[in-house]
Amino acid sequence: MGDVLSSGKRKIRKKQQCFGCGRVFEPKTEMNFCNYADNGTVNTTYLCMVCQTVLDDDKDCFFKDNGEIYFEDIKNIDPECWEEIRYSLEEKNK
């Protein structure tokens, strides 16, 4: 990933795939986005709330040694931890 230009939360207007876990989300879902410059083009990645939480919580242990995150890494590096957070964010209040 190149330089981050802007990031934040927004309601998506069309279907977007989460970079961290590969799930596809429907329009109007709130997701975290990140615009970044890479070889002269601007790209946007989206993260669902689960992946963002995993990243915020565990940045130090997961990604301390390599700053790069690849597609579906956030889920695959520690699936049990990811699922636990997913459950607490998405299932607990149903």
* Interacting residues with Zn ion (CB under 5 A): 18, 20-21, 48, 51
Name the residue among 15, 19, 77 with its Cα closest to residue 43.
Answer: 19
Least distance to Zn ion from the beta carbon of 22, Å?
7
Of 51 and 69, nearer to Zn ion (C-beta) is 51
Of 8 and 40, nearer to Zn ion (C-beta) is 8
Q: CA dist 67 to 20, 54, 63, Å?
A: 14, 15, 6
Name the residue among 68, 72, 10, 1 with its Cα closest to residue 41.
Answer: 1
Least distance to Zn ion from the beta carbon of 40, Å?
28
Least distance to Zn ion from the beta carbon of 19, Å?
7
